[in-house]
């Protein structure tokens, strides 16, 4: 059975998609940008602070669905500039210390709203 996850503690979807969907004990979180949900836009201008906001958004969705970072099995990171990889990774490793999830990271041409980073996440129980 499919369960749609939605929380006001993460940014509302900016298109026809859900923040997350849970199916058979697996949670699929849509790509999260550094949107501050309180104001509905990106405040941070640097990769470090944008990545922190992305993880705050992911954490809010995980919590709403009854998961946490220990349940994450896969992350996909999209960067507007691969030169930001090391700075993004410095933040990333604060959230995944041991038994890290599988991960892919890509540089892409552009991200929505001029974001520097977007991360999609899969978690499983």
Q: Does position 63 have pLDDT exceeding 90, yes or no?
A: yes
Q: Does position 19 have pLDDT exceeding 90, yes or no?
A: yes
Q: Does position 14 have pLDDT exceeding 90, yes or no?
A: no
H/E segment holding residue 73? strand 72-79
Model confidence pTM above 0.85: yes
Q: Determine the pLDDT at residue 28.
A: 98
Summarised one tens digit per residue, pLDDT across range 112-122 is 999 999 999 99
pLDDT classification of 85: cutoffs 50, 70, 90:
very high
Q: Determine the pLDDT at residue 35.
A: 98
* Domain range summary for the chain, segments of one domain joined by +: 2-124
Q: Does position 10 have pLDDT exceeding 90, yes or no?
A: yes
- Tokens 């604060």 locate to 94
Q: Can you list the alpha helix ranges (DSSP code H) found in the chain?
A: 47-65, 85-95
2-124: CATH number: 3.30.1330.40
Residues 6+ apart with CB under 8 A from 41: 35, 113
* Average pLDDT value over all residues in the chain: 97
Q: Does position 84 have pLDDT exceeding 90, yes or no?
A: yes
């Amino acid at each position: 059975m499919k369960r749609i996850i939605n929380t006001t503690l993460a940014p509302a979807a900016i298109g026809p998609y859900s923040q997350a969907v849970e199916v058979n004990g697996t949670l699929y979180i849509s790509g999260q940008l550094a949107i501050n949900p309180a104001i509905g836009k990106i405040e941070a201008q640097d990769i470090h602070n944008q990545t922190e906001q992305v993880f705050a958004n992911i954490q809010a969705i995980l919590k709403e669905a009854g998961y946490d970072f220990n349940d994450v099995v896969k992350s996909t990171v999209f960067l507007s500039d691969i030169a930001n990889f090391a700075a993004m990774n410095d933040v990333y490793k604060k959230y995944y210390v041991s038994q890290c999830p599988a991960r892919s990271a890509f540089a892409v041409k552009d991200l929505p709203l001029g974001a520097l980073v977007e991360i999609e996440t899969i978690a499983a129980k």
